[in-house]
Amino acid sequence: MNSVKDKANIWLAVGLVLLTLLIFSLSWYSYTYNKTFDQLTLFTPSGEWTENNLAFVETGLKVKSDAPLEEKLEKLAQTLSEVYDGLPIVFLGVENSFGDQIAVFDLREKHELAQKTTANREQNISDESELISWQYLLESNSYEVNQVANSITKSLLQSNYEADWIDGVRILYEGERMPFYSAYSLYSTVYRTQIKDLSILNIGDPLGTLKLSSKAFDEERNAIYYTLEGEFTAYVNLVNGSDFDKVWIKFLESSIMKYNLELKYSWEDPADVYIENFSSYFSIDNKDAFLMRLKMEKPEAYERYLKGERVMMKLKLNNVKSVCYYQSEYYNSLDFIDFID
């Protein structure tokens, strides 16, 4: 009788040892599995607003920690494409632009859907079956377009991902810069940004290749002035606007766009803040010298500029000057130095 009980105890002990080993093995496997994978986040539109911000549904996406950056970006694009019913998001590669790593993606149509969208709009026909095309998504009302655009850029930028990643994303449509005015936020390259509080920046503090050279607050006019000194390069859109006394440029791609300046108009009210993200238009202070050189060195671009056509070029620039009036207008200018071929 005792031998039977002893055998039972032995088998029970063996079972407990095996169970312990199994639990340990599973725990170790889970630990090593999680250690070899990183978590990315997809941001998809929720259709709702939260505290005056567009709300998103966040979904995790596991990628191998040691996978090449390009492989992670490719998987991210493919998974994001599935969110939009398989509309292609083609990863074209990573380019070095002015020292920054810029990932390039192309939004491509399923062409039968795009053609149907165009035909239906020309005839003012509403057809639920053609709702999923990039053209439709990026030419809808501004609220929906903003949700789609922010969903794409937030998902691809992965601002909270701490491993090696890109500095910005350039979103194309069928191989070209975004043609839809409603999707203006995708016209320029979108960067991972750093917010700098102007009120605590000291004279001489750097912003990339630039440094803060002056700042002032005019209480009577409720205006903030600052200047950034130093040379920088940019890919810009040259704009011939209605103000013929000025030549305007808009940044399409530049390291200066990695920085946001927080301008505070009131210590008492935290809401009295303006964020300068360098996405507005800048006038060229030495415009006469710029236009003369443009006419002499790039006559075709000069003629297109005079006709009001889109002119894009790379420039070397200097000295950003800005004045921002509270809840009113702002004015930015800079100096032209040279063309970059």
pLDDT tens, residue order, the chain (341 aa): 556 555 566 666 666 666 666 665 555 555 444 558 899 999 988 766 555 556 788 888 889 988 999 999 999 999 999 989 899 999 999 999 999 999 999 999 986 655 555 565 565 655 555 557 899 889 877 778 888 999 999 999 999 998 899 999 999 999 999 998 888 889 999 999 999 999 899 999 999 899 999 999 888 778 899 999 999 999 999 988 655 688 999 999 999 999 999 888 765 566 678 888 888 889 999 999 999 999 999 999 999 999 988 899 999 999 999 998 876 667 899 999 999 98
Residue 333 inside a domain? The answer is yes
Q: Which residue has the tokens 């035909």?
A: 119
182: number of CA atoms within 13 Å, CB side?
Answer: 15
Contacts of 220 (CB under 8 A, 6+ apart): none
Phi and psi, residue 180, nearest 5°: -90, 120
| Partners of residue 218 on adjacent β-strands | 223
Q: Which domain covers residue 255, as residue numbers? A: 194-340
Whether the CB-CB separation of 147 and 130 falls below 8 Å is answered with no
Q: What pLDDT is recorded for position 31?
A: 47
Q: What pLDDT is recorded for position 81?
A: 94
C-alpha distances out from residue 339 to 96, 186, 189, 233, 336, Å: 19, 25, 20, 9, 9
214 and 291 housed in the same domain: yes
d(CA 136, CA 144): 10
Q: What's CA 320's distance to the chain center, in Å?
A: 22
Here the tokens at position 136 are: 């439709």
Helix (H) and strand (E) counts for the chain?
7, 17
Residues present in the chain in total:
341
146 and 261 housed in the same domain: no
Residue 99 inside a domain? The answer is yes
Listed in sequence order, the DSSP H helices in the chain are 2-35, 69-83, 111-122, 134-138, 142-157, 287-297, 299-306
Here the tokens at position 89 are: 């998001």
Residue 48 inside a domain? The answer is no
Q: Classify 54 as helix, strand or coil.
A: strand
Q: What pLDDT is recorded for position 273?
A: 81
202 and 182 housed in the same domain: no
What's the number of domains the chain is made of? Answer: 2
Residue 156 inside a domain? The answer is yes
Residue 40 inside a domain? The answer is no
Q: What pLDDT is recorded for position 245?
A: 80
170 and 234 housed in the same domain: no
Here the tokens at position 288 are: 């006469």
Please give the DSSP secondary-structure letter assigned to residue 90: E
Please give the DSSP secondary-structure letter assigned to residue 271: T
Whether the CB-CB separation of 138 and 180 falls below 8 Å is answered with yes
Whether the CB-CB separation of 279 and 153 falls below 8 Å is answered with no
Q: What pLDDT is recorded for position 126?
A: 55
From 138, 163, 191, the end of a domain falls on 191
d(CA 149, CA 227): 31
Q: Classify 149 as helix, strand or coil.
A: helix
